[in-house]
C-alpha cells in the first residue's frame, strides 16, 4: 500500500495526466528495474491502422544482460498488437497482431541508438532501421488491420491490456524522440528523422505529446544531440 501511495504522489507531483507537452530535447528516464514504472501515451486514432512507422531513441545497458521491451501497443483483443522488443542473443523483435519476426542484430553498443520500425498491411512488409541504416526486410500479417482503442506503453511489455508487467522485461535507461505515423516513411524520410528532422507525425508527436508517467519515471534533458 505504501508503495502504491508513493507512486501516486510521484505521478501527481511531477506529471500532467495526459497533458500535451513539447518534449523536444527531453527524454523519459527509467532509472531502475521495476514492474510498475512506465509511461502511457495517448494517440488520436479514429480508424484501424493499415500501416505505421515508429521512430525513437533508446539508451540502455540492458542489451548486455537481458531482453527488454521498447514499445508496446495493446488492444483489448490483442495484447501484442505492436511490440518492439530487444531479445538478448537474437536481436530486435517486431510483433504485429500477435505474429513475430526477428531482425538479427549485433549486441547494442553502449551508446544512444535511433530505431525506426515500419509495417504495411498491403504487402505485409516490415522494416527496421538502426541509426539511419536499414536491416533486411521481413514480412508478416499481410492484409491485417490493427485496432484503434489502444494502450500504448513505454518501459514495459503488456501481457494484457494496460497490464501484465514483468520487471524482467522492463526498460532501464532513457527513451526519447518517440514519434509515430499511420503510414510507412520513405527511406529518405527515415534518414531525415534520424538526423533530427520530422514529417508531422500524426499518431504520436514528441513535440506535442500526451502522456501519463507512473512511479519512478523522470523527464530529463537528452544525452544525445
CA distance 39 to 211: 7
**How many CB atoms neighbour CB 177 within 10 A?**
23
Query: 3-class secondary structure for 168-207?
Result: HHCCCEEEEEEEEECCCCCHHHHHHHHCCCCCCCCCECHH
Cell of 113: 541508438
**For 54-95, how does the pLDDT look when each residue is reduced to its tens digit (9 = 90+)?**
999 999 999 889 999 999 999 999 999 999 999 998 999 999
pLDDT over 70, % of the chain: 90
Nearest to 97 by CA among 79, 113, 123: 79
Of the candidates 154, 138, 143, 161, the residue with the CA atom closest to the CA atom of residue 80: 161
CA distance 23 to 176: 8
Cα(53)–Cα(116) distance, integer angstroms? 7
- Three cell numbers, residue 1: 500500500
Task: Give the side-chain half-sphere CA count within 13 A for 124.
Answer: 11
Confidence of residue 13 (pLDDT cuts 50, 70, 90): very low
The mean pLDDT of 27-45, rounded to a whole number, is 96
Amino acid at each position: 500500500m505504501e508503495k502504491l501511495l508513493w507512486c501516486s504522489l510521484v505521478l501527481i507531483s511531477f506529471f500532467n495526466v495526459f497533458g500535451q507537452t513539447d518534449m523536444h530535447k527531453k527524454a523519459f528516464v527509467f532509472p531502475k528495474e521495476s514492474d510498475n514504472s512506465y509511461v502511457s501515451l495517448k494517440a488520436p486514432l479514429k480508424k484501424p491502422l493499415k500501416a505505421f512507422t515508429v521512430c525513437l531513441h533508446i539508451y540502455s545497458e540492458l542489451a548486455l544482460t537481458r531482453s527488454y521491451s521498447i514499445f508496446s501497443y495493446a488492444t483489448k483483443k490483442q495484447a501484442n498488437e505492436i511490440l518492439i522488443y530487444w531479445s538478448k542473443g537474437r536481436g530486435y523483435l517486431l510483433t504485429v497482431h500477435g505474429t513475430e519476426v526477428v531482425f538479427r542484430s549485433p549486441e547494442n553498443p553502449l551508446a544512444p541508438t535511433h530505431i525506426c520500425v515500419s509495417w504495411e498491411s498491403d504487402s505485409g512488409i516490415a522494416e527496421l532501421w538502426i541509426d539511419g541504416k536499414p536491416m533486411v526486410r521481413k514480412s508478416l500479417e499481410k492484409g491485417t488491420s490493427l485496432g484503434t482503442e489502444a494502450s500504448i506503453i513505454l518501459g514495459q511489455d503488456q501481457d494484457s491490456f494496460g497490464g501484465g508487467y514483468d520487471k524482467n522485461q522492463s526498460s532501464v535507461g532513457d527513451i526519447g524522440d518517440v514519434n509515430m505515423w499511420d503510414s510507412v516513411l520513405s527511406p529518405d524520410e527515415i534518414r531525415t528523422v534520424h538526423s533530427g528532422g520530422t514529417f508531422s507525425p500524426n499518431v504520436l508527436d514528441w513535440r506535442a505529446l500526451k502522456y501519463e508517467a507512473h512511479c519512478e519515471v523522470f523527464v530529463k534533458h537528452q544525452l544525445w544531440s
